[in-house]
Structure 1
Amino acid sequence: MMSVKLITFLGNVRKTEQNPKGYQLTKYQFHDVEEPYETCFVADAIARKFAVDEVRVFVTKEAMANHLEDLQQALQDTNIPVYPVKIETPDDSDRYIWDIFNKITDEEIIKKHDSIVFDVTLSFRSIPILAFLSNIYLQKIRETELKAIVYGEFIPGTSPTYMRDLSVFARILDWTTAVSTFQQTGRVENLAALAKNLGGEPVEQFAKQLEAFSQELLAARPVGTTWAASKLPALLEQVKNDSRPESTPLGLLLDSIAETYQQFDLNRGPLATLDATYEEAKVKDIQFLKIQLDMIKWYIKKGLPIQATTLAREWLVSLADYYQDTAVNSFSYKERDKLSRYINNFIPPSNTPKIPDIQPSSRLKQHAQGIADVWDSIRNIRNDIAHCGYDRPKAKEAAKLQAHLDSLEEMLDQLLP
């Protein structure tokens, strides 16, 4: 069962005759609560506001001796238990920082699926940042929910003290993770989900199309990729006009997103349908070959050998079709299979040349051997990958396969007209 826990900090404020509890009595005002909470302890106000199940208060031995009992008494009427978590007296060492981190992330303190309210009002030095980052870490490893990061803007002699929820800034790290995933792998699920959460039709349409582009790209479908890419520029321009503050993280990403899809945009304008894109690819055959080669390079850079070898093999067939100088439908499996068999004739051992299924053009004859040499190399790598390394002793280690892919890029570059 999910438990709502308040993680708070209590400093060792000196007690005086005028202020026997050390902490001053003040009114804590939340923006969505009409009446403020009047108390000496900000943790008291937060615990009541969020109706937490328990309070975990991080205290030094001095603070525990001077203030823990007072805090427990302040919350006595709520029946909310207050548990101390002992920490060392603050210093500037890394050991102190890791001690705090280890205790915040202790599974006995924060369990899987717990809902967490962090109070950083009284935390010391680097603790607010540490608490913030610890929470993000816990969200990933224990699937905790961040309910709020609360900060009380206490100014001595003024009342009320306004309470701010800073959890909105945790989204920045969510954006950071999503951007990193997109840049490293091309996957946009997290990025699109964050964009959709912003709301607004232009942003939602852009996020939806970005997902479609990513799906086509990662499925190694060059026609679908260029079709999806063609629709993104117009949608991106609409998103640029979004001036809402919460849209700022997305706005900062737009140039990076554009840089990714522009290299795969064949038409530099929206293509209405997938069929229309196939026709465009036939007309702009050399441009489309270059786009496919850019996709192969992108796969190699991102460490995606399956997509790289799969498309590289098909790219060689498309290159042979380009040199054939006919009106052959290069998207017909039957015609592409004929070209594949023709290329295979140039790969040894070939004791007796087979009768070709096509009448090769002079340009195809001129380039066939060069294509076949690369074809043989790609075929071996692709078969090794497709058979999952079960073809011993031919099977190679993954690192060696990647090395072959790195050299493949140069070989394909040399074949491009």
Structure 2
Amino acid sequence: MARNVLLSFLGLSDYKPCFYTYQGETSSYTRFVQTAIYELFKKDGEMDVVIFSTKEAEKNNWIDRVNEENQLVEGLKTTFHRIDPKANIKLVVIDSSQDERANWQLFDAILNEIQEGDCIYFDITHSFRTIPFVSLIVLNYARLVKKASIGKIMYGFFEKLGNPRKVDNIPVEKRLVPIIDVTNMAALLDWTNGVDQFIRTGDATVIQQFTSNEVKKIYTDPDPTIEERKQVSELRELANQLDMVGKLMQTARSLQIAEEIKKFREQLNKVRNIETDTVKPLIPLLDEMEKKYENFTEDPFQNLFAMADWCEKNQLIQPGLTLLQENVVTAICRLFRLDETNKDIRTDLHSAIRILLERIPEEDWQVKNPSFVADIVEKLKPYRDLLKPFNPITEYRNDINHAGTRTDARPPQKFYQQLSESIQKFKPFFEEVSNSSKNYNLK
């Protein structure tokens, strides 16, 4: 069963007692931020605790000891059991060295304490040297290999009270130390990973999953602000729109893609206009996302070409072949003002292109509407040379759609090569019909 677990590090310092606060709640008076976090966040559910400590810190702060004034100083273990006798606490001793070997040992030590599906509350208050860096890597790794999640990343801001030597002069009731929630820094890492995957592949799945999780957190928060809800709602809508465009590309829904990209840009601008500290670091990432569709314009003919080109750049070979061939037919429909969704018209246009390219005599035509086809063949004659790549792309599209079951099936590497070459060969066709449409529409 998934559990909540607090991971924390114990240092050597002679910690001063104080009250820790978080969102209006206050902990018991304590030397240890770990017990404060346990108290303040245990309401989220039962919480196990794992403390990482060097042997030196264990001696100084884990167990009870007698100080120089011959006074008993309570250690973290005793403090925990005093606050909650049933607390499940584990001490893991780590090496105090900071070389590469010790860092890998620390990586293993932390990872070994994370169970499948854990929700991790991570305290970085007393992390030192390379520990925060190694820990963040472990957390990210554990989310992948152990399906763990991050509940909170926290820092006890004791420095707010000033120099530790002066704390003794501060009245007890004024020793209030805030616990700072830095979880959004990990969220930025999630966004970075998601945007990186999107830029490389066009797949927005990671972004969508992350924003969906953030929505759940906000709406289960007992006291979310209106601004927080607005922010996460707009981010979720952006992720959904990205996912929609990606799925349209993957399934070659050519007549919807351009319109959904337009909606994506509109939603992107809404997110940019959210003035919060959380969204500001995302702005450069949003800019990179927008570049992904920079070749889509207001020109409906150039957009038809951009779809296939986008697929080629993102290794979507089968949709790319389909979009390239069908968008040639769609471009002809738009040029001559034909119904681009009419199945019979599109079938006749496929036939007309083949007749034109292979110079098939009229008596050998096998079409339902000879007069319509004859008219189209005549109108397409100026574009004959530009349409020459059409037949080869048809052959490759048929081959890939038959899943390699033909005796003359081509090897897989040939398809990407053919798509890439065909896109470059067809580029002049889309440019020409775009120019022709302006003249044609004036008549």
Q: TM-score range by the shorter chain?
A: 0.7 to 0.9
Distance 1:413 1:161 in 2: 64
2:76 aligned to which of 71, 74, 83: 71
Matches within 5 A, 1:370-389: 370-371=386-387, 373-389=388-404
Is 1:55–1:82's contact at 8 Å kept on the other side of the alignment?
yes
Q: Quote the residue 1:263 is aligned against.
A: 295
Q: Quote the residue 2:339 is aligned against.
A: 329
* Structure 2: stretches of 5+ with no match in the other structure: 64-74, 168-174, 216-227, 433-443
* Length, aligned pairs only: 381
1:95 aligned to which of 90, 93, 101: 101
Q: Per the alignment, do residues 145 and 235 of structure 1 end up closer, same or farther by CA in structure 2, a change over 3 Å counting? A: closer
Q: Per the alignment, do residues 254 and 4 of structure 1 end up closer, same or farther by CA in structure 2, a change over 3 Å counting? A: closer
Distance 2:281 2:253 in 1: 30
Distance 1:341 1:291 in 2: 24
Q: Quote the residue 1:303 is aligned against.
A: 315
Q: Quote the residue 1:25 is aligned against.
A: 16
Q: Per the alignment, do residues 250 and 218 of structure 1 end up closer, same or farther by CA in structure 2, a change over 3 Å counting? A: farther
Deviations 1:340-363 (A, max 9, x none): 123334667979972263114545
- Kindly provide the amino acid, as one letter, of the partner of residue 121 in structure 2: V
Distance 2:101 2:396 in 1: 49
Distance 1:83 1:203 in 2: 39
Q: Quote the residue 1:194 is aligned against.
A: 211
Q: Per the alignment, do residues 38 and 311 of structure 1 end up closer, same or farther by CA in structure 2, a change over 3 Å counting? A: same
- Kindly provide the amino acid, as one letter, of the partner of residue 6 in structure 1: L
Q: Per the alignment, do residues 185 and 64 of structure 1 end up closer, same or farther by CA in structure 2, a change over 3 Å counting? A: same
How far did residue 40 of structure 1 move? Answer: 2.7
SS of 1:75's equivalent in the other structure is: helix
Distance 1:81 1:367 in 2: 77
- Kindly provide the amino acid, as one letter, of the partner of residue 390 in structure 1: T
SS of 1:63's equivalent in the other structure is: helix
Q: Per the alignment, do residues 47 and 35 of structure 1 end up closer, same or farther by CA in structure 2, a change over 3 Å counting? A: closer
- Kindly provide the amino acid, as one letter, of the partner of residue 295 in structure 1: M
Q: Quote the residue 2:304 is aligned against.
A: 292
Matches within 5 A, 1:49-198: 49-51=40-42, 53-69=47-63, 70-77=75-82, 78=84, 79-91=86-98, 93-106=99-112, 109-155=113-159, 156=164, 157-158=166-167, 159-191=175-207, 194=211, 197=215, 198=228
**How many percent identity over aligned positions?**
24
Is 2:32–2:76's contact at 8 Å kept on the other side of the alignment?
yes
Deviations 1:2-27 (A, max 9, x none): 222121112344xxxxxxxxx23311
Q: Per the alignment, do residues 118 and 390 of structure 1 end up closer, same or farther by CA in structure 2, a change over 3 Å counting? A: same
How far did residue 413 of structure 1 move? Answer: 1.7
Distance 2:193 2:182 in 1: 19
* Root-mean-square deviation (Å): 3.1
Q: Per the alignment, do residues 295 and 42 of structure 1 end up closer, same or farther by CA in structure 2, a change over 3 Å counting? A: same
SS of 1:125's equivalent in the other structure is: coil
SS of 2:403's equivalent in the other structure is: coil
Is 2:324–2:423's contact at 8 Å kept on the other side of the alignment?
no
Is 2:54–2:94's contact at 8 Å kept on the other side of the alignment?
yes
Distance 2:15 2:12 in 1: 13
- Kindly provide the amino acid, as one letter, of the partner of residue 58 in structure 1: F
Query: Is 1:40–2:31 an aligned residue pair?
Result: yes
- Kindly provide the amino acid, as one letter, of the partner of residue 100 in structure 1: L
Per the normalisation by structure 1, the TM-score is 0.80
Is 1:120–1:150's contact at 8 Å kept on the other side of the alignment?
yes
Distance 1:363 1:352 in 2: 16
Q: Quote the residue 1:279 is aligned against.
A: none
- Richer in helix (by share): 2
Per the normalisation by structure 2, the TM-score is 0.75
Distance 1:320 1:233 in 2: 28
- Residue range with higher mean Cα deviation, 61-70 or 220-229: 61-70
2:427 aligned to which of 409, 413, 416: 413
Q: Per the alignment, do residues 124 and 256 of structure 1 end up closer, same or farther by CA in structure 2, a change over 3 Å counting? A: closer
* Structure 1: stretches of 5+ with no match in the other structure: 14-22, 267-286
Q: Quote the residue 1:273 is aligned against.
A: none
SS of 2:114's equivalent in the other structure is: coil
Q: Per the alignment, do residues 238 and 346 of structure 1 end up closer, same or farther by CA in structure 2, a change over 3 Å counting? A: closer
- Kindly provide the amino acid, as one letter, of the partner of residue 319 in structure 2: Q
Q: Per the alignment, do residues 229 and 188 of structure 1 end up closer, same or farther by CA in structure 2, a change over 3 Å counting? A: same
How far did residue 300 of structure 1 move? Answer: 0.3
Distance 1:88 1:213 in 2: 50
Q: Per the alignment, do residues 137 and 403 of structure 1 end up closer, same or farther by CA in structure 2, a change over 3 Å counting? A: same
Distance 2:38 2:263 in 1: 49
Is 2:357–2:384's contact at 8 Å kept on the other side of the alignment?
no
Q: Quote the residue 2:218 is aligned against.
A: none
